[in-house]
Amino acid sequence: MSDAITNLGGGGLDSPWLANLSTCLSYACSFLCTLIGGPLINKIGIKWSCFIAAVAMPLHGSAFYVDSKYDVDWFLLLGNVRRLPSIESNPSTC
């Protein structure tokens, strides 16, 4: 879903630097969650992991809206760091 928002211009990104930085942060956080996601999900449980992912997922879409409407760049970067460990980041827990 985030690729659709980004690639269809829903973000209204006026600078390629910001788009590249947010994508870089997204992939870096995905890498870190791959390393620590499994043990952390085992520690906090699947229910809380799904809850954290459900709370954090709308931040990404709303960050694009806030960036295009109010020109706030920091929220877009924060929205891409939202990749907390969830079921989708570690499919071996399913």
- Residues 78-88 have pLDDT tens digits of 877 765 444 44
pLDDT at 72: 82
87 exposure class (CB count in 10 Å sphere: 0-12, 13-18, 19+): middle
Nearest to 38, CA basis, from 78, 75, 83, 86: 86
pTM above 0.85, yes or no: no
Q: Could you report the per-residue pLDDT of 16-67, keeping only the tens digit for each?
A: 777 778 778 878 888 888 898 889 889 999 999 888 888 877 887 788 788 7
